[in-house]
Amino acid sequence: MHQDTLAGLARRLAAREFSSVELTRALLDRAQSLGKTLNAYITLDEERSLAQAAAADARIARGEASPLTGIPIAHKDLFCADGWRTTCGSKMLANWISPYDAHVISRFNDIGAVLLGKANMDEFAMGSSNENSHFGPVRNPWEVSRVPGGSSGGSAAIVAARLAPAATGTDTGGSIRQPAAFTGVSGLRPTYGRVSRYGMVAFASSLDQGGPLARTAEDLALMLNVMAGFDPRDSTSVDRPAEDFSARLNAPLEGLRIGLPKEYFSAALSQDVATAILAAIEAYKKLGATVVEVSLPNQHLCVPAYYVLAPAEASSNLARYDGVRYGHRASEYSDLLDMYKKSRAEGLGAEVKRRILVGTYVLSHGYYDAYYLQAQKVRRLIANDFKAAFAQCDVIMGPVAPSVAFPLGSKTTDPVQMYLEDLYTISVNLAGLPGMSIPCGFGAAGMPVGLQIIGPWFEEARMLNVAHRFQQVTDWHSKVPPGVDA
């Protein structure tokens, strides 16, 4: 069962080939074996998952099923789920049981999907390798000595290793697309405002967006149909008419104008990745697309702007972890100030603290204008670059990451080297655009390469169509990691 895609499983569940309980049981068993090897999950709760599966089976029997009823889904461990431990990969919340459901979780509950488990992640979604989790690093199913990418590394590994047909993730600077690329799965970061952030623990509020990881574009569309939608509890949620993201998957690509930003194909991009990307572009030409060169002249400022804005927001968003109402409190302290400082120092990991310090600094008196405000202005320039580019093309394509998945520990000593991993993904977040990664080949050490597809605001349906057509003529997305029984 586990080999099948989300769409396939949905069809077979509806046809009563097997029950949701059987499917859930099988996937829980895989989570206990291969899942443990990869350290993909932080929390499993078999009893709860199986109860949901039984309820889904009853619903299917009553004929009240929708496409994802009874499908087990893994959720990144920053989506709050009532009664579930929700840790954000942090010691700070290692024992925190959420008393409420995130909007995304409610949407899955409403259609009778099964919460299979909470996926490992970089602490508070800060990281590009999933090495920043309090619960240990996640391993790449293609090669366990390599990272799966981050911060949605658990989600990506789960989908790649066929531990679940799909998973949720969040993408603040590339945290869905980069791990999708590193593990050979498909991932979509929707337009900012498309998926409610309510109950999705914040890293950087103006950049965070939840989205799905799955094996195919078709599956991503099914997931997005559940996740997207207006939520009055999120002031930045965009109120748009409901869309069926599956409807236009098969539309022809004749006349599609693909923009290739010249800035993307520079010395920073490793040759193996470039080769795979350019081969994918050739495949698109065969599908009827035309290619135009576009320019994103401020591309080189993305990483600097991001590493001012995201830490600034994070420093404030993470101030609530003070050991007063929930979360870790130091066991010994002399007074209130000492309690704050020790609780936070003990409860938060090195990378999170580093970003809090950076963010605190850029917002502090005397530095705000030079750093924070300037970064916001540069952010506008970057968004404007995309507006101009989309006047010339329908989608932009390029690499997701400068190289394939790297070995664990190889970039942990120099934060800046790690930050440069996000070189090609960050601009999407700054501009609030939708972006995808789909498998498009293999590079060094036989590791997967992802093709990034960037669309104009709210053009997810078109992007999914573009991705789906590619997956109809290629089979990169159905390659199975060597250690994973197909």
Partner 1 sequence: MSLTDADVRRIAHLARLAVSDTEVEAARGQLNGIFDMVEALRAVDTTGIEPMAHAVEMGQRLRDDAVTAPDLRDKYQAAAPAVEDGLYLVPKVIE
Partner 2 sequence: MTWEVVIGLETHTQLSTRSKIFSGASTAFGAAPNTQASAVDLALPGVLPVLNREAVACAIKFGLAVGATIAPRSIFARKNYFYPDLPKGYQISQYELPVVAGGGLKIRVGENEKFIHLTRAHLEEDAGKSLHEGFTDVSGIDLNRAGTPLLEIVTEPDMRSAAEAVAYAKALHTLVVWLGICDGNMQEGSFRCDANVSVRRKGDEKLGTRCEIKNVNSFRFLERAIEYEIRRQIELIEDGGTVVQETRLYDADRDETRSMRSKEDAMDYRYFPDPDLLPLMISEEWIANIRKEMPELPDAKQARFQSEYSLSAYDAATLTASKAVADYYERVLAKFRSEPKLAANWVTGDLSAALNRHELEIGASPVSAAALAGLLKRIADGTLSGKMAKDVFDAMWNGEGDADAIIDQRGLKQMSDSGAIEAIVDQVLAANPKSVEEFRAGKEKAFNALVGQVMKASQGKANPAQVNEVLKRKLAAGT
Active site (catalytic) residues: 76, 151, 175
Residue 78 interacting with partner 2 (CB under 8 A): yes
Residue 286 interacting with partner 2 (CB under 8 A): no
Which lies closer to partner 1 via its Cβ, residue 188 or residue 378? 378
Residue 300 interacting with partner 2 (CB under 8 A): no
Contact yes or no for 98/86 (Cβ under 8 A): yes
Stretch that binds partner 1, among 161-169, 195-203, 220-228, 331-339 (CB under 8 A): 331-339
Token pair belonging to 350: 């090195």
Rounded to the nearest whole angstrom, what is the least distance from the CB of residue 422 to partner 2 in the complex? Answer: 19
Rounded Cα–Cα distance for residues 306 and 421 (Å): 13
Strand 395-399 to 257-261 pairing: parallel
DSSP secondary structure string for all residues of 381-403: HHHHHHHHHHTT-SEEEEESSSS
Strand 210-214 to 166-170 pairing: antiparallel
Q: Could you tell which of partner 2, partner 1, none binds residue 199, using a CB distance below 5 to 8 A set by kind?
A: partner 2
For the chain, what is the total number of helices (H) and then of strands (E)?
A: 16, 11
How many other CB atoms are found less than 10 A from the CB of residue 336? Answer: 10
Q: Could you tell which of partner 1, partner 2, none binds residue 358, using a CB distance below 5 to 8 A set by kind?
A: partner 1
| DSSP class of 99 | S
Contact yes or no for 439/477 (Cβ under 8 A): yes
**CA geometry: angle at 379 spanning 301 and 311, to 5°?**
80
Rounded to the nearest whole angstrom, what is the least distance from the CB of residue 264 to partner 2 in the complex? Answer: 28
Q: Could you tell which of partner 1, partner 2, none binds residue 342, using a CB distance below 5 to 8 A set by kind?
A: partner 1
Rounded to the nearest whole angstrom, what is the least distance from the CB of residue 390 to partner 2 in the complex? Answer: 23
Residue 201 interacting with partner 2 (CB under 8 A): yes
Stretch that binds partner 1, among 180-188, 228-236, 275-283, 463-471 (CB under 8 A): 228-236
Interface residue with partner 2, options 40, 312, 423, 438 (CB under 8 A): 312
Q: Judged by CB under 8 A, how many residues of this single chain contact partner 1?
A: 69
| Stretch 233-252 residues interacting with partner 2 (CB under 8 A) | 233-236
Which lies closer to partner 1 via its Cβ, residue 112 or residue 173? 173
Which lies closer to partner 1 via its Cβ, residue 140 or residue 427? 427
Bond from prior residue into 33 cis (ω within 30 degrees of 0): no
| Stretch 344-383 residues interacting with partner 1 (CB under 8 A) | 344-345, 348, 353-354, 356-358, 360-361, 364, 370-371, 373-381, 383
Residue 204 interacting with partner 2 (CB under 8 A): yes
Chain position carrying tokens 């310090």:
357
Residue 197 interacting with partner 2 (CB under 8 A): yes
Exposed/middle/buried for residue 218 (C-beta within 10 Å: 0-12, 13-18, 19+): buried
- Quote the crossing angle between the two packed helices 302-317 and 374-390, to the nearest 10°: 120
Q: Could you tell which of partner 1, partner 2, none binds residue 348, using a CB distance below 5 to 8 A set by kind?
A: partner 1
Q: Could you tell which of partner 1, partner 2, none binds residue 110, using a CB distance below 5 to 8 A set by kind?
A: none
- Compose the 329-358 pattern: x for residues touching partner 2 by CB under 8 A, - for all others: -------x---x------------------
Q: Could you tell which of partner 2, partner 1, none binds residue 86, using a CB distance below 5 to 8 A set by kind?
A: partner 2
Interface residue with partner 1, options 225, 315, 452, 471 (CB under 8 A): 315
C-alpha 202 chain-centroid distance: 14
Rounded Cα–Cα distance for residues 160 and 37 (Å): 14
Interface residue with partner 2, options 202, 217, 289, 302 (CB under 8 A): 202
Chain position carrying tokens 């709760």:
45
Rounded Cα–Cα distance for residues 231 and 221 (Å): 19
Token pair belonging to 185: 């799965």
Rounded Cα–Cα distance for residues 72 and 51 (Å): 12
| DSSP class of 352 | H
Residue 65 interacting with partner 2 (CB under 8 A): no
Strand 435-442 to 41-43 pairing: unpaired
Q: Could you tell which of partner 1, partner 2, none binds residue 78, using a CB distance below 5 to 8 A set by kind?
A: partner 2
Residue 127: name the closest of 419, 359, 403 by CA: 419
Rounded to the nearest whole angstrom, what is the least distance from the CB of residue 476 to partner 1 in the complex? Answer: 31
Rounded to the nearest whole angstrom, what is the least distance from the CB of residue 201 to partner 2 in the complex? Answer: 4
Contact yes or no for 141/110 (Cβ under 8 A): no
Contact yes or no for 160/184 (Cβ under 8 A): yes
Query: Which positions lie near partner 1, rule CB under 8 A?
Result: 96-97, 99, 192-193, 206-207, 232, 235-236, 238-239, 298, 300-301, 303-305, 307-308, 315, 319, 322-327, 329, 333, 335-342, 344-345, 348, 353-354, 356-358, 360-361, 364, 370-371, 373-381, 383, 414-416, 419, 429-432
Query: Which positions lie near partner 2, rule CB under 8 A?
Result: 78-80, 86, 88, 93, 96, 98-100, 102, 197-202, 204-206, 232-236, 312-313, 315-316, 318-320, 322, 324-326, 336, 340, 360, 363-365, 368, 372
